[in-house]
């Protein structure tokens, strides 16, 4: 921004008229605060009853479960005390930044916008198909933004020639695609989305020709995907491509062990589209890999891109995107500038986060893939404090936020080539000097004995590098903004099978606990650095996996007590019964109202709360156990890429809102065991009520069993009613029956003791 200020002072540039954005508190905030006070008093009353009741093994388990529930409830309330919503006015920047109908070399803008480097990561061409990554890159290459200010860097952590081949073809296609998007003002600038939307009838002739080019590229990429390598006939006539693919022909080149590969596919200063306009930069990067050096998963890949982009374009703004998250609004960057160009907040703004929203969500969202609470309901609550957290994609950073606090910049700790104040922007990004520097900073040994991943860049030490990075940035004094326009800025893909959904959640659970239970715990370190409410807000996500304790406890203990004829809750005639009723109904009704006010439906809310229970009894449980085993020195699971590939039958069942159990996953064992225990407990308990007439005494336990049973209907259906490939494997059912019987025996023994 220094250059902009100098030009403005000279009278050549003017800033857009303020305000560029507004902030508004939610109207329901006073009601949230009042309800939080009442509910907190009810929780205290619950513990009063616990400590004035008889103590048994089962009651101790309930006290522990309720203690975790109370803590997590407190973290939830921190997000409801002062939520805010922002609104931007990009139209004020449109004329200042975008000049239409003039040659780019002669443009005179009122405001000189900052450069933007887009960082996209992919790791496995068979789980993350290259054409999907290509569509993501093309959608951001098509931003309504000065081409010379935009660069896209693609990290291929799988080191695959298939991905490079796809991007070489995409770079040639972009010369046709980008002017087509610009000339017709397309909103959908992902070719797959545009051609799949049926919009081509508006511009039949030209759109048909462009579509034919795109389909030809898809066929070529699919052909080499089937072969598993790029055959020489695909590149033998091009010396530039021949040299690139020869790197894969050496015996030492493997996915886990290979040298740096950097390929400049488009260069703004040299390449032009078919209309003669400059094109954005497009660079393929595969960092060096070695079995003897840690690679730090996605955080390591992002840091390598951060350094490579610094040697080439060094844009002050950095956008991180998942490989399957395409741009859905070509003017998104104007919304970002509404905050960065505001002198009152821009200097302390680390990042602007857009919510993750998805294009592949089923009608009823049976797996809760929308994560509406995480991505849309909770962020405004953090925004009213010091800003929302970074959620892994769709986030625009100020580059300098990776290198220190907002009031200081430790330039002495950064090599000259990465120093923001030292960069030769006139040098070609494909020059030998620049490429040599880029190869150097992408090597395995570059980070040795440096502060990368510790005090600089994306942070290491957690499988959820997004959570840890933003958390430590905000602890240093940076602020953030949650930007949620009506038209989604980005749309991504989501898993289509229950096993993939739960496996992804295990990884998140482990990563979050790695931060929450460390010297950087938000309860201790976070509250000191940011204040109590922000500490609790970060704890809400950090300790999310601990929900497994209350969820699993209430999934088994009241039911096992019911099987043994033991009452654990007050009778319906007891005044304490109304406390339990209030705690249950209050939490669920408030959650439902928030979900619906955020644009959800009652059916989607029901599925979302069911998935919360499923995660608590599977992925949260497995994630917490894996983390504890890791603390004890046992090997833990690493970063597993979630597959973006789905079969036709799986997609059909997903669209019909039918759960996919198909594989004999251990994650399904506790779910099936829960379903069996609750079914038997409800039947036995109901029979006991008819026999003994003790409905009032056993009502709460019967209600809990019945409520869990209703949520378990997809499991009963998969066990007994379905014949398709997505039914519950018989092996899982038999193991679960055995475990249910063992739990009953253990509970009977515990009661006798």
The DSSP-derived string for 618-647 is: THHHHHHHHHHHHHTT-------PPP----
Helix axes 548-563, 695-711, angle to 10 degrees: 130
In the chain, count H helices and then E strands: 27, 12
Cα separation, 496 vs 493, in Å, equals 9
**What pLDDT, on the 0 to 100 scale, is given for residue 683?**
97
User: Cβ(255)–Cβ(261) under 8 Å?
Assistant: no
Q: Of 317, 374, 309, 311, whose CA–CA distance to 350 is shortest?
A: 317
User: Cβ(636)–Cβ(510) under 8 Å?
Assistant: yes
Instruction: Reply yes or no: is the peptide bond before residue 19 cis, omega within 30 of 0.
Output: yes
Cα separation, 485 vs 333, in Å, equals 12
Show me where the domains of the chain are located. Answer: 29-82+518-635+650-752, 93-494
**What pLDDT, on the 0 to 100 scale, is given for residue 14?**
63
List CB contacts of 238: < 8 A, sequence separation 6 or more: none
**What pLDDT, on the 0 to 100 scale, is given for residue 204?**
66
User: Cβ(453)–Cβ(300) under 8 Å?
Assistant: yes
List the chain residues with pLDDT less than 70. 1-15, 99-109, 198-204, 236-241, 409-426, 636-645
Residue 672 tokens read as 């099936």
Q: For 93-494, which CATH superfamily applies? A: Spore Coat Polysaccharide Biosynthesis Protein SpsA; Chain A (3.90.550.10)
* pLDDT tens for each residue of 81-114: 999 999 999 998 887 887 554 444 445 667 789 9
DSSP 272: B
**What pLDDT, on the 0 to 100 scale, is given for residue 106?**
47
Distance between start and end Cα atoms, the chain: 72
**pTM for the predicted model, two decimal places:** 0.92
Q: Any idea which residues carry the catalytic annotation? A: 157, 466
**What pLDDT, on the 0 to 100 scale, is given for residue 752?**
79
């Amino acid at each position: 921004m220094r250059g902009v200020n100098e030009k403005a002072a000279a009278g050549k540039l003017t800033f857009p008229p303020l305000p560029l954005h507004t902030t508004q508190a939610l109207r329901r905030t006073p009601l949230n605060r009042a309800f939080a006070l009442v509910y907190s008093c009810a929780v205290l009353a619950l513990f009063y009853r616990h400590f004035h009741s008889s103590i048994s093994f089962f009651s101790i388990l309930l006290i522990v479960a309720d203690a975790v529930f109370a803590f997590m409830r407190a973290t939830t309330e921190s997000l409801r005390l002062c939520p805010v919503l922002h609104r931007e006015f990009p139209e004020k920047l449109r004329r200042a930044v975008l000049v239409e109908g003039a040659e780019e070399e002669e443009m005179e803008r009122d405001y000189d916008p900052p450069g933007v480097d887009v960082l996209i990561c992919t790791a496995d061409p068979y789980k993350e198909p290259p054409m999907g990554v290509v569509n993501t890159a093309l959608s951001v290459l098509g931003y309504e933004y000065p081409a010379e200010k935009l660069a896209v860097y693609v990290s291929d952590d799988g080191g695959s020639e298939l991905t490079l081949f796809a991007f070489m073809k995409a770079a040639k296609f972009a010369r046709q695609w980008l002017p087509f998007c610009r000339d017709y003002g397309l909103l959908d600038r992902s070719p797959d989305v545009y051609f799949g939307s049926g919009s081509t009838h508006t511009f039949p002739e030209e759109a048909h020709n462009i579509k034919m080019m795109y389909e030809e590229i898809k066929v070529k990429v699919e052909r080499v995907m089937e072969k598993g390598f790029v055959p020489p006939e695909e590149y033998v006539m091009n010396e530039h491509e021949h040299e690139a693919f020869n790197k894969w022909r050496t015996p030492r080149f493997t996915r886990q062990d290979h040298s740096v590969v950097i390929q400049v596919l488009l260069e703004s200063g040299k390449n032009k589209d078919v209309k003669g306009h400059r094109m954005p930069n497009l660079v393929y990067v595969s960092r060096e890999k070695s079995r003897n050096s840690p690679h730090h998963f996605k955080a390591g890949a992002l840091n390598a891109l951060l350094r490579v982009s610094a040697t080439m374009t060094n844009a002050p703004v950095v956008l991180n995107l998942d490989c399957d998250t395409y741009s859905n609004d070509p003017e998104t960057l104007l919304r970002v500038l509404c905050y960065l160009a505001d002198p009152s907040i821009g200097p302390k703004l680390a990042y602007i986060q857009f919510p993750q929203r998805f294009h592949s969500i089923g009608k009823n969202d049976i797996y809760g893939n929308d994560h509406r609470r995480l991505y849309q309901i909770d962020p405004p609550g953090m925004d009213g404090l010091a800003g929302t957290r970074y959620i892994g994609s769709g986030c625009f950073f100020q580059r300098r936020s990776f290198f220190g606090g907002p009031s200081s910049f430790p330039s002495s700790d950064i090599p000259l080539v990465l120093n923001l104040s030292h960069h030769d922007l006139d040098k070609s990004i494909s020059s030998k000097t620049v490429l040599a520097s880029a190869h150097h900073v992408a090597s395995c040994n570059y980070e040795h004995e440096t502060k990368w991943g510790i005090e600089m860049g994306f942070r290491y030490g957690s499988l959820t590098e997004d959570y840890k990075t933003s958390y430590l940035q905000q602890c240093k004094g940076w602020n953030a903004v949650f930007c949620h326009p009506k038209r989604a800025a980005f749309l991504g893909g989501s898993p289509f099978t229950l096993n993939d959904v739960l496996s992804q959640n295990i990884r998140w659970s482990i990563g979050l606990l790695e931060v929450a239970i460390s010297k950087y715990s938000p309860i201790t370190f976070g509250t000191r650095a940011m204040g109590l409410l922000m500490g609790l807000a970060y704890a809400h996500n950090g300790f999310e996996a601990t929900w497994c304790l209350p969820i699993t406890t209430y999934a088994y203990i009241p039911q096992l007590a019911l099987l043994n004829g033991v009452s654990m809750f007050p009778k319906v005639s007891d005044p304490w019964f109304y406390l339990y009723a209030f705690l249950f109904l209050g939490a669920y009704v408030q959650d439902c109202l928030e979900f619906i006010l955020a644009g959800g439906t009652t059916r989607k809310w029901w599925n979302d709360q069911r998935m919360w229970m499923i995660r608590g009894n599977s992925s949260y449980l497995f994630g917490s156990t894996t983390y504890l085993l890791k603390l004890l020195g046992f090997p833990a699971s690493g970063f597993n890429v979630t597959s973006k590939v789905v079969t036709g039958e799986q997609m059909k069942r997903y669209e019909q809102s039918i759960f996919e159990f198909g594989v004999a996953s251990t994650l399904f064992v506790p779910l099936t065991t829960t379903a069996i225990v609750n079914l038997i407990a409800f039947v036995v308990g109901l029979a006991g009520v008819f026999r003994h007439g003790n409905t009032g005494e056993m009502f709460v336990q019967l209600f809990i069993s019945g409520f869990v049973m209703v949520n378990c209907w997809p499991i009963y259906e998969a066990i007994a009613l379905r014949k398709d490939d997505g039914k519950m494997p018989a092996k899982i059912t038999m193991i679960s029956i055995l475990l249910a019987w063992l739990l009953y025996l253990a509970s009977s023994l515990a009661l006798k003791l």
